[in-house]
Chains A and B, each alone.
Chain A
Amino acid sequence: MKTDDVVIEVKKLKKAYGKNQVLKGIDLKVQRGTMLALLGPNGAGKTTTVKILSTLLKADDGVAKIEGIDVSEDPDAVRRVIGLTGQSAAVDELLTGRENLVMMGELYRLTRKSAKARAQELLEDFDLVKAADRPAKTYSGGMRRRLDLAVSLIAIPPVIFLDEPTTGLDPRSRLAMWEIIRRLMDSGTTILLTTQYLEEADQLADKIVVIDGGKVIAEGTAEELKGKVGNDRLEIGFANASDLNKAKSAIGKNVFASNDKENSITVMVKDTNTDIKDTLNLLSDKKIKVTAVDVHKPTLDDVFLSLTGKTDKKSTEGEK
């Protein structure tokens, strides 16, 4: 296994729906056995990218190769090496979990015997043994997603696309899903994950590519990206506009954003240990009265704010 082996390669990928240019030239590279997270708000072009890579859509321009095979030249060959878990759980609701797995296995051209054995193994791995012989429509949201992911692994494809695998899941199911994805990574599978959640990309991915409006706006490891947006955020509220302005001039360039309507500011915290205390002491020394204090982790919104200088309302709605 070569470490410089590129499994997914995307160059200048473009796609428009009518006048709406969804992808404006995306470049990606995913090394063998690593996970790349495509991070961005709704409408950024994440799903469109995955659809093109998994042969569901044709690109207008640019090149996309999986294992060196061009997706537009030989889609069937690409289909043999990929697994796709889309946003809507794509399982047959009237069939049982086991029947779904065996059916998809056979459609991947496994022998029936082999498909059955592999189905049993996946049901055990994904904690679905008890529900194996119940129709999938009786499954909970988390179970359905697990089945959906299991289905895409039936023929052990070397490349997996996970399109927002945890969107809409409750926190416990999300953690269970992360655990499964980590095991998948340990097995050496190359993964492209899309997500709206910085934390998810942070927890799982080797490398993160941030996209917005169909363009790559930043890429790097989770650490590198967080370095750009700082660590924690300190939000301070004031009684009136004059206190707010006094505070702004006292804190200076560390003010990350200010909200004049609510008389509040957001301050970047580089070192949680000292910066919060120092900032509040500074305000107290200047006799500026503080009415509210809140510390929070950087959200996708903060990443966008710092990368593009604009807030994206949709992305925050998705997180709350």
Chain B
Amino acid sequence: MAVELEFSKSPRFLQLLNDSVVMIRRSSTHIFRNTDQLLGAFFQPIMFLLLFSAVFGGAISLALPENVDYLDFLMAGIIVQTVAFGSTTTAVAVANDLSKGIVDRFKSLPMSNIALLNGHVVSDLLRNTISTVVMILAGLVIGFRSPASVTDWFLIAALLLLFTFAFSWLSAVVGLLAKSVEGVQWISFVMVFPLTFASTAFVPAEGMPKYLRYFAEHQPITQVIEAVRSLMLGVPTNGSVLRSILWSIGITVVVIPIAAYLFKKKTTN
């Protein structure tokens, strides 16, 4: 053989880190090669934004405080909803890998296996960032305005990334538990749809039935929506920032070990 092979001489932890970098590169490349993912990242958010603001705008603005425009109210909800649905891509990607021979290939390599999950989760962060930027730009075009300061925007970005990270890992667990790729899509939908609709994403909770309202006001997605919305509208956050951070960290801390355990169980036999 003509080529002289050169193996990495880095310390072991750097090699393990590099495994994740390689897998992040792989999953991120998928975003731009997979038409479904591209449509999901670019067009679906714009479509939702336009539809919701046009269809509900007139009716719901009556339930909002006088000086609040529905588009400005909606922005936080629709971003968090898109990001929550976007995170379920991890579940589909994990189930897809498991259903194909490529997992056997990875397992037969001297690599860190969990790097596969890291790759999908981190590429979710990238894709959700793209979606969010696209939605904010589209929002600005149709009249979204925010008094938020640069610091507020950094905080908004941090809250959204933290939330995506938590939900992607949760989604990885779904991908590991499901029996088929179709099953994953269904479970993800059933998990995320009620959470995003039974929240304050699109309407204030005041008009909901008592129990639903209780749920809507206390569930994690509402905390994230409320925090992001308050920051965007420039109104007091009333502790929602802290609650959303705690929820995201709480979910992450519980779910990562479960994902790691399930993955190990699935990949060693």
Q: Which residues of A contact B (CB under 8 A)?
A: 51, 54-58, 76, 79-80, 82, 84, 86-92, 94-95, 99, 103-104, 106-111, 113-114, 117-118, 121, 135, 151-152, 155-156, 187
Q: Known contacts A114-B3, A121-B3; decide if A90 and B26 are in contact (CB<8 Å).
A: no
Task: Tell me the smallest distance from the CB of B142 to a CB of chain A, in Å.
Answer: 34
Q: Which of A86, A94, A95 contacts B105 (CB 8 A)?
A: A86
CB of A104 within 8 A of CB of B109, answer yes
Excluding A57-B269, A76-B110, 4 further A-B contacts by CB distance (< 8 Å) are: A55-B108, A90-B101, A99-B29, A118-B3
B2 part of interface (Cβ distance < 8 Å): yes
Contacts of A88 in B (CB 8 A): 100-101
CB-CB under 8 A from A110, the residues of chain B are: 5-8
Contact A86 B101 (CB under 8 A): yes
In the assembled complex, the CB of A253 is this many whole angstroms from the nearest CB of chain B, namely 48
Task: Give the chain B neighbours of A92 by CB distance below 8 A.
Answer: 26, 102
CA distance A261 to B145 in the complex (A): 86
Using Cβ atoms and an 8 Å threshold, which residues of chain B touch A94?
A: 29-30, 33-34
Q: Quick check: B104 and A56 within 8 Å, CB to CB?
A: yes
CA of A53 to CA of B96 in the docked complex: distance in angstroms?
25
Chain A residues whose C-beta falls within 8 Å of the C-beta of B215 in the assembled complex: none
Query: For residue A125, which residue of chain B has the nearest CB?
Result: B1
How many Å lie between the Cα of A106 and that of B17 in the bound state? 12
Which residue of chain B lies nearest to A54 when distances are taken between CB atoms in the complex?
B108
> Which one of B4, B22, B104, B107 lies within 8 Å of A103 (CB-CB)?
B22
- The verdict on A108 contacting B110 (CB below 8 Å), with A57-B269, A58-B269, A114-B6 known, is yes
**Using Cβ atoms and an 8 Å threshold, which residues of chain A touch B107?**
55-56
Residues on B with beta carbons closer than 8 Å to the beta carbon of A152:
105
Closest CB in chain A relative to B97 CB, distance in Å? 9
Given B26, B105, B110, which contacts A80 in the complex, CB threshold below 8 Å?
A: B110
Q: Could you say which of A58, A82, A107, A113 contacts B19, with CB atoms under 8 Å apart? A: A107
Once bound together, how far apart are the Cα atoms of A312 and B101, in whole Å? 27
Given A84-B108, A110-B5, residue A89 in contact with residue B29 (CB < 8 A):
no
State the CA gap A99–B25 with chains docked (Å). Answer: 10
14 A/B residue pairs, CB under 8 Å, sorted by A: A54-B108, A56-B104, A88-B100, A90-B104, A91-B105, A94-B29, A95-B29, A95-B33, A106-B18, A107-B22, A107-B110, A109-B111, A118-B5, A156-B1
Check B67 for interface membership: any CB of A closer than 8 A: no
Assuming the contacts A104-B109, A114-B6, A117-B3, asked whether A84 and B104 have C-beta atoms less than 8 A apart, the reply is yes
The 4 closest A-B pairs by CB, nearest first: A88-B101, A90-B101, A90-B105, A114-B6
Known A89-B101, A90-B100; contact A107-B106, beta-carbon cutoff 8 A: yes
Query: What residue in chain A is nearest B269 (Cβ atoms)?
Result: A57
Give A218 Cβ to nearest chain B Cβ, in Å. 29
Smallest Cβ distance from B87 to chain A, in angstroms? 20
A95 neighbours in B (Cβ, 8 Å): 26, 29, 33
Contact of A109 among B7, B100, B106, B269 (CB under 8 A): B7
Contacts of B105 in A (CB 8 A): 84, 86, 90-91, 104, 151-152
Contact residue among A90, A103, A156 (Cβ-Cβ distance under 8 Å from B5):
A156
Find chain A residues with CB under 8 A from B4 CB. Answer: 114
Q: CB-CB < 8 A to B29: which residues of A?
A: 94-95, 99
User: When chains A and B are docked, how far (Å) is the Cα of A108 from the Cα of B109?
Assistant: 6
Q: Is B238 an interface residue (CB 8 A)?
A: no
CB nearest neighbor in B for A76: B110
Q: Are B102 and A113 in contact (CB under 8 A)?
A: no
A64 to B266, CA, bound (A): 22
The reply to whether A103 and B8 form a contact with Cβ atoms under 8 Å apart is no
Residues of A contacting B109 in the complex (Cβ-Cβ under 8 angstroms)? 79, 104, 107-108
Cα–Cα distance between A92 and B6 once the two chains are bound (Å): 24
Contact, CB under 8 Å: B5 / A135: no
Write the nearest CB–CB distance from B177 to chain A, whole angstroms.
21
Tell me the smallest distance from the CB of A309 to a CB of chain B, in Å: 35
Interface: B149 (CB within 8 A)? no
Nearest A residue (CB) for B21: A106
Chain A residue at smallest Cβ distance from B268 = A58
A89→B5 CA distance, assembly (Å) = 25
| Chain B stretch 12-32: residues in CB contact (< 8 A) with chain A | 15, 18-19, 22, 25-26, 29-30
The answer for the CA separation of A156 and B6 in the assembled complex, in Å, is: 11
A87 to B33, CA, bound (A): 25
Determine the distance from Cα of A76 to Cα of B3 in the docked complex, in whole angstroms: 25
Question: Shortest Cβ distance from B113 into chain A, in angstroms?
Answer: 10
The minimal Cβ–Cβ distance linking A319 to chain B, given in whole angstroms, is: 23
For the complex, give the distance between the alpha carbons of A87 and B8 in Å.
Answer: 30
